[in-house]
Amino acid sequence: MDTTTTRPATRAEQKDRTREDIRAAALDLFEERGFDSTTIDDITAAASVGRRTFFRYFSCKEAVLFSGGVFQDMAEDLDEALTSGLPPVRALIWALERDAYGASDPDEITVRRRRIRVALFEKPSVVAYYRNEVARIAQVVTAVIYRHPEHARVRFLPELLGGLLHTMTLEHLESGETHHFSVDADSWRIGLRALERGFGD
């Protein structure tokens, strides 16, 4: 007799499942009806959830196209790296690599979401959403740098680090790639050294 029991899903797992059910329903509708013709009510009906549940996970339908998990621990991870003594740029790269998706290949729904997102970059509301989100994350980085006096006293350094994240993220989003976010540290090292040489001795 099979005595195997199925472990009940945790609350976090249930939330993740609900989020992905809403996302999958929205992507289906975006492909079938078009982004502009799809309403939040359409999405909630297809996902069998209420509007309140939708807004618990997504602020708007544009947000469905973007992962809510990336960089959610950026402030904590960057602060930890700086506290450990890593130089600011290395600390930022460490935090990015720790807080992004990791080395595994993206799953099917992630690839699908990114392909649809790229196709919708011509939509002003989509562009406005992701640019506002990227700017917000960059401001988070700048604020964390300001918490560390040894770095905050270097004029413009906090803003430059925020700008570095801003540029990295926009480059990834607008590249059209469906792979996970990754940091090309060598390219940034070359670019930053070239910038330094531009000031001369």
- Does any domain span residue 4? no
Boundary residue ending a domain (26, 49, 64): 64
Q: Please report the pLDDT score of residue 173 as a whole number.
A: 75
Q: Are residues 28 and 105 part of one domain?
A: no
Q: Are residues 127 and 40 part of one domain?
A: no
Question: Which residues are within 8 A (CB) of 24 and not within 5 positions of it... i.e. 6 or more apart?
Answer: 47, 109
Q: Are residues 100 and 156 part of one domain?
A: yes
Number of domains comprising the chain: 2
Residues counted in the chain: 201
Question: Which residues are within 8 A (CB) of 191 and not within 5 positions of it... i.e. 6 or more apart?
Answer: none
Boundary residue ending a domain (45, 64, 83): 64
Residue 39 to residue 30: CA distance in whole angstroms = 10
- Does any domain span residue 5? no
Across the chain, which has 201 residues, the per-10-residue mean pLDDT values are 63 85 94 95 96 94 78 85 92 79 65 85 90 89 94 92 86 68 69 69 56
141 close to 60: Cβ distance less than 8 angstroms: no
Boundary residue ending a domain (22, 40, 64): 64
Q: Are residues 144 and 84 part of one domain?
A: yes
Q: Are residues 183 and 150 part of one domain?
A: yes
Q: Please report the pLDDT score of residue 133 as a whole number.
A: 86
Q: Please report the pLDDT score of residue 201 as a whole number.
A: 56
Q: Please report the pLDDT score of residue 190 as a whole number.
A: 75
